Chain A
């Protein structure tokens, strides 16, 4: 009897204590904000290369500001979808991380800025003199109503066609730059028993990614951009043409596409089972770092058909959420992130190119150098599959429509569902 009373007292005490300790740490510095004053960097960079880049960036910051404690709060998995789910619940609960990774474009502007969760960074851009250091199109992607809300750290290109050099040489083929050339090459490869186009749409965004490059090729940057503002309808003849071309391309993909992710699809190209693959240039990192292939020896790259001179931008950016207690420290971090030094520490490791136009080109490999050149001159287009062109809600619906289309190949139904999803765009 006595013993059990003691046990219960101990239990109750420990409960009370644990409750106290969690609340006391929250009120540590007398501020009303939850969490410690650690500078929490929230991202989904946990893969090879990208994690190294992030660490290099953090190290650079620590060398400059040794007295600011920094914490790498990366959430692994799902190409950012897990991290986005965690982020959404933290933002809804008014417990934002100090700064977080977000794709420039709609994901930032229609998401967090529209929800009134972000601070403007105009003064930071002013102070650092960044307004002419980033391309204007890019600053527009992280701005809403004339206010800037985040700092781009890198640029990935979405419209890249990767091909197996050996297969192309053996069959006397040239890398296709038009859709006609693509289908001609695909027909020849198919006759030889080689899968012309590798696709891994276990996660449906990869098929959407392929579709958006076709859209860009058929519409051009200007009309492509009009799709998201509602100026061009999805039942426009050009969109229908793109849908038919996409459908035709789906006739040349590997049969087991729905059991593969994008890495598995890239692997098909790497080991010669498939000839081509459309993927963003993070695939280069996968070819080089994971599969130990050589650029321009084992695999080659061209812009996807009819997108020469156009650049599907995927940019990772970091912003300042409202309601963080250490806003000044966050701005220090963002300043490092946006500096030439910061961008050149991060991007060569991550395999992307810097968002600034004055970065040190010599630090990048041949693919990086080519892409930096292209980026300077090309017209920029926002990626739909990666949340830059339109809201996540619209993207979810498009992904569903694409997933159905890949199997049913019903162009009319596909256009109809795109159109009804577009009613959500303003």
Chain B
């Protein structure tokens, strides 16, 4: 195909015409033809429905009978003054911070250990990575039994006097009254964090391990020549070099944790006093149980925006980097 185009441009005199010819070259037509279906599908089924959801969230559609009259921000107003949604925001914030924090710490720690040229490294790698292959629903069911206050690990922990109510605990640590809720760290959410960290740490380990392997040995050699101890090498050299990986881990985990639904739904449900409820569960119940379609859409929009807070700066950042 290429030679044909070259010939064409040679015969045509005007540069403008050359441009046009090039834009419509059969190669590009083919490319557009292949892209068009998926572009159309994404336009309709992703962006079209996002705008539709946004529109519904501003409507009065809160029963089985569709009612698209404009309601303004009424649904958002309701949500932010709702006990359950305030609890959801608290739980999501606490969950996200604990979850991402634990994953970064465990991920780096395990990756560094794996990077010590140990024997059977691939075996350990697989063990850490396998939970990733499970669905969150399976993880939820398993940990529901493990952390059940009357069975599971408590049978062992009671022997050493360390029983916990796990996800049925309704206490809130460091709590203070804020809005309608007690703001603080719900003890119950830590049980969910344990399950989520168990599942997702393997992913962070894999990413950090790839990052560690990408650091050339010369860097370490140079640091050793300068008399740095192994601990100093990690603290001052290796871990700072892993920062781009950490950014990626935070982005990926943040969008998982902000949208989490299946793990909570399978493991605890909304929980007593909504100590383990999250916006995803509320959205499902409001929309499909209570038929509050507009409220559900408003929750969906808030979830989208909260994820966008993480994703958009990342996209801008990585685009700038690609351009420079």
Chain A: interface size category: 20 to 34
Q: Indicate with 1 or 0, residue by residue over A395-416, a CB within 8 angstroms of chain B CB atoms.
A: 1110010011011100000000
**In the assembled complex, how far is the CB of residue B263 from the closest CB belonging to chain A, in whole angstroms?**
15
**In the assembled complex, how far is the CB of residue A250 from the closest CB belonging to chain B, in whole angstroms?**
11
Q: Which of B98-106, B124-132, B282-290 contacts A (4 or more CB under 8 A)?
A: B282-290
Q: Indicate with 1 or 0, residue by residue over B146-161, a CB within 8 angstroms of chain A CB atoms.
A: 0011100000000000
Residues A202 and B66 in contact, CB atoms below 8 Å apart: no
Q: A406–B274 Cα gap in the complex (Å)?
A: 11
Residues B274 and A115 in contact, CB atoms below 8 Å apart: no
**In the assembled complex, how far is the CB of residue B88 from the closest CB belonging to chain A, in whole angstroms?**
12
Residues B285 and A396 in contact, CB atoms below 8 Å apart: yes
Closest CB pairs A-B (n = 9): A396-B290, A407-B273, A85-B288, A258-B272, A115-B64, A258-B168, A256-B149, A115-B65, A407-B272
Given the known interface contacts A92-B66, A201-B272, the answer about A256 and B148 at a Cβ–Cβ threshold of 8 Å is yes
Residues A391 and B168 in contact, CB atoms below 8 Å apart: no
Residues B148 and A259 in contact, CB atoms below 8 Å apart: yes
Q: Indicate with 1 or 0, residue by residue over A99-113, a CB within 8 angstroms of chain B CB atoms.
A: 000000000000110
Contact of B274 among A111, A202, A403 (CB under 8 A): A403
Residues A84 and B289 in contact, CB atoms below 8 Å apart: yes
**In the assembled complex, how far is the CB of residue A197 from the closest CB belonging to chain B, in whole angstroms?**
16
Given the known interface contacts A84-B288, A88-B288, A115-B64, the answer about A259 and B273 at a Cβ–Cβ threshold of 8 Å is no
| Residues of B244-296 whose CB lies within 8 A of A | 268-274, 284-286, 288-292
| Residues of A63-84 whose CB lies within 8 A of B | 81, 84
Residues B272 and A111 in contact, CB atoms below 8 Å apart: no
Which chain B residues border A112 with CB–CB below 8 Å?
Answer: 64
Contact of A393 among B62, B165, B167 (CB under 8 A): B62
Which chain B residues border A288 with CB–CB below 8 Å?
Answer: none
Q: A258–B272 Cα gap in the complex (Å)?
A: 6
Given the known interface contacts A114-B65, A115-B65, A400-B84, the answer about A258 and B271 at a Cβ–Cβ threshold of 8 Å is yes
**In the assembled complex, how far is the CB of residue B229 from the closest CB belonging to chain A, in whole angstroms?**
48
Q: Does A365 contact B (CB under 8 A)?
A: no
B residues apposed to A, CB below 8 Å:
34, 62-66, 83-84, 144, 148-150, 165-168, 170, 268-274, 284-286, 288-292
Q: Does A374 contact B (CB under 8 A)?
A: no
Given the known interface contacts A259-B144, A404-B83, the answer about A396 and B272 at a Cβ–Cβ threshold of 8 Å is no
Which chain A residues border B168 with CB–CB below 8 Å?
Answer: 255-259
Which one of B34, B170, B268, B290 has the highest number of Cβ atoms from chain A below 10 Å of its Cβ?
B290
Contact of B150 among A116, A259, A406 (CB under 8 A): A259
Which chain B residues border A88 with CB–CB below 8 Å?
Answer: 64, 288, 291
**In the assembled complex, how far is the CB of residue B9 from the closest CB belonging to chain A, in whole angstroms?**
22
Which chain A residues border B270 with CB–CB below 8 Å?
Answer: 204, 403
A residues apposed to B, CB below 8 Å:
8, 81, 84-85, 88, 91-92, 111-112, 114-116, 201-204, 255-259, 391-393, 395-397, 400, 403-404, 406-408
Residues A407 and B170 in contact, CB atoms below 8 Å apart: yes
Which chain A residues border B66 with CB–CB below 8 Å?
Answer: 92
30 contacts between A and B (CB under 8 A): A81-B289, A84-B288, A85-B284, A88-B288, A88-B291, A111-B64, A111-B291, A112-B64, A115-B63, A115-B64, A202-B268, A203-B269, A255-B149, A256-B150, A257-B168, A258-B167, A258-B271, A259-B148, A259-B149, A259-B167, A259-B268, A392-B291, A393-B62, A393-B291, A395-B290, A396-B285, A404-B274, A407-B272, A407-B273, A408-B273
Residues A396 and B292 in contact, CB atoms below 8 Å apart: yes
Which chain A residues border B63 with CB–CB below 8 Å?
Answer: 114-115, 391, 393
Q: A327–B82 Cα gap in the complex (Å)?
A: 44
Which chain B residues border A204 with CB–CB below 8 Å?
Answer: 270
Which chain A residues border B144 with CB–CB below 8 Å?
Answer: 259
Which chain A residues border B170 with CB–CB below 8 Å?
Answer: 258, 407
Known: A258-B168, A396-B292. 9 other contacts (CB 8 A): A81-B289, A88-B291, A112-B64, A202-B269, A392-B290, A392-B291, A396-B286, A400-B274, A407-B170
Q: A395–B291 Cα gap in the complex (Å)?
A: 11
Which chain B residues border A115 with CB–CB below 8 Å?
Answer: 63-65
Residue of A at shortest CB range from B154? A256
Residue of A at shortest CB range from B63? A393
**In the assembled complex, how far is the CB of residue A236 from the closest CB belonging to chain B, in whole angstroms?**
24
Which chain B residues border A407 with CB–CB below 8 Å?
Answer: 170, 272-273
Residues A403 and B272 in contact, CB atoms below 8 Å apart: yes
**In the assembled complex, how far is the CB of residue A418 from the closest CB belonging to chain B, in whole angstroms?**
14
Given the known interface contacts A259-B150, A259-B167, the answer about A81 and B65 at a Cβ–Cβ threshold of 8 Å is no
Which one of B168, B270, B272, B292 has the highest number of Cβ atoms from chain A below 10 Å of its Cβ?
B272
Residues B288 and A81 in contact, CB atoms below 8 Å apart: yes
**In the assembled complex, how far is the CB of residue B156 from the closest CB belonging to chain A, in whole angstroms?**
17
**In the assembled complex, how far is the CB of residue A405 from the closest CB belonging to chain B, in whole angstroms?**
9
Q: A73–B305 Cα gap in the complex (Å)?
A: 37
**In the assembled complex, how far is the CB of residue A76 from the closest CB belonging to chain B, in whole angstroms?**
14
**In the assembled complex, how far is the CB of residue B148 from the closest CB belonging to chain A, in whole angstroms?**
5
Which one of B62, B168, B268, B292 has the highest number of Cβ atoms from chain A below 10 Å of its Cβ?
B168
Q: A116–B139 Cα gap in the complex (Å)?
A: 42
Which chain B residues border A404 with CB–CB below 8 Å?
Answer: 83, 273-274
**In the assembled complex, how far is the CB of residue A90 from the closest CB belonging to chain B, in whole angstroms?**
12
**In the assembled complex, how far is the CB of residue B323 from the closest CB belonging to chain A, in whole angstroms?**
32
Q: A111–B65 Cα gap in the complex (Å)?
A: 8
Q: A8–B37 Cα gap in the complex (Å)?
A: 13
Which chain B residues border A391 with CB–CB below 8 Å?
Answer: 63, 291
Q: A395–B290 Cα gap in the complex (Å)?
A: 7
Residues B289 and A397 in contact, CB atoms below 8 Å apart: no
Residue of B at shortest CB range from A261? B269
Residue of A at shortest CB range from B182? A408
**In the assembled complex, how far is the CB of residue A34 from the closest CB belonging to chain B, in whole angstroms?**
19
**In the assembled complex, how far is the CB of residue B282 from the closest CB belonging to chain A, in whole angstroms?**
9
Given the known interface contacts A258-B272, A259-B150, the answer about A397 and B290 at a Cβ–Cβ threshold of 8 Å is yes
Residues A393 and B269 in contact, CB atoms below 8 Å apart: no
**In the assembled complex, how far is the CB of residue B18 from the closest CB belonging to chain A, in whole angstroms?**
26
Contact of B273 among A116, A202, A257, A403 (CB under 8 A): A403
Residues A393 and B290 in contact, CB atoms below 8 Å apart: yes
Which chain A residues border B288 with CB–CB below 8 Å?
Answer: 81, 84-85, 88
Which one of B144, B166, B273 has the highest number of Cβ atoms from chain A below 10 Å of its Cβ?
B273
Q: A114–B167 Cα gap in the complex (Å)?
A: 40
